[in-house]
A and B are shown apart, each in its own frame.
Chain A
Amino acid sequence: MAVDDVARAYIDAVLNHPAMREWYEAALAEAWIVPSDEVD
């Protein structure tokens, strides 16, 4: 979904926040699967 520059800047700022990066890295390392959340 396309977003404008303001929204893009805000999304990038949040996703690059150190705490968010820490959460993301931990999430990527998780092995647990919830099947209902893996359906497209």
Chain B
Amino acid sequence: MKIVIGNKNYSTWSLRGWLALKQTGAEFTEVMVPLDTPNTHDAIRDYSSARRVPVLIDGSLSVWDRLAIVEYLAERFPQAGLWPADREARAHARAVVAEMHSGFTALRGYYPMNIRRVPAARSRVDDVEADVARIVEIWREMRTRFGAGGFPVRIFQCGRCVLCARCQ
């Protein structure tokens, strides 16, 4: 199994697919495609016509899109328990992941991930504050419903957690 990713310093999309794969315990290799070069899209096209990372390669199968990768891995490695076993918890987890997958554009745009350095302080922006407040609300709801140690979504929120962590 192989995963094609972008730079680990910048690519939260890659991080999410990589973390889910890591969580399965499966052996895999990484192919890193440097982002933002003249050759980036062409290099990714060798693995996916979508030309975006991450891309999961399993034999002749190519799965692009981080959420599709997570779903594929959950089917491929059921013993990993990537989704909660409980139906309600699983539905809740999927709703949270879907919200994170498609939303929080203000936060993502305002605080892109850059692990190597601490960004300069920025002025407060209402849309960004609202995104952060919504993430905290999601965590609080999960804690209330599933317990302090029972965050049902496990690793899937990490990409967004990193973004939030950058907001400290």
Contact = CB atoms under 8 A, between A and B. Distances in A.
Interface residues of B, number: 36
Contact residues of A: prevailing secondary structure:
helix
A20 to B, nearest CB: 6
A30 B113 CA distance: 14
Nearest to B128: A1
Interface string A17-40: 101101110111010101111101
A30 B167 contact: no
Contacts, number: 80
Interface string B125-153: 00000001001100110010000000100
A1 B9 contact: no
B83 interface: no
Contact of A17 (B10, B135, B155, B167): B155
Contacts of A14: 157-158, 161-162, 165
A31 to B, nearest CB: 9
A35 B8 CA distance: 15
B106 interface: no
Given A36-B36, A38-B114, A1 B168 contact: yes
A14 B50 CA distance: 29
Interface of B: 7-10, 15, 18-19, 22-23, 34-36, 112, 114-117, 119-120, 122, 132, 135-136, 139-140, 143, 151, 155, 157-158, 161-162, 164-165, 167-168
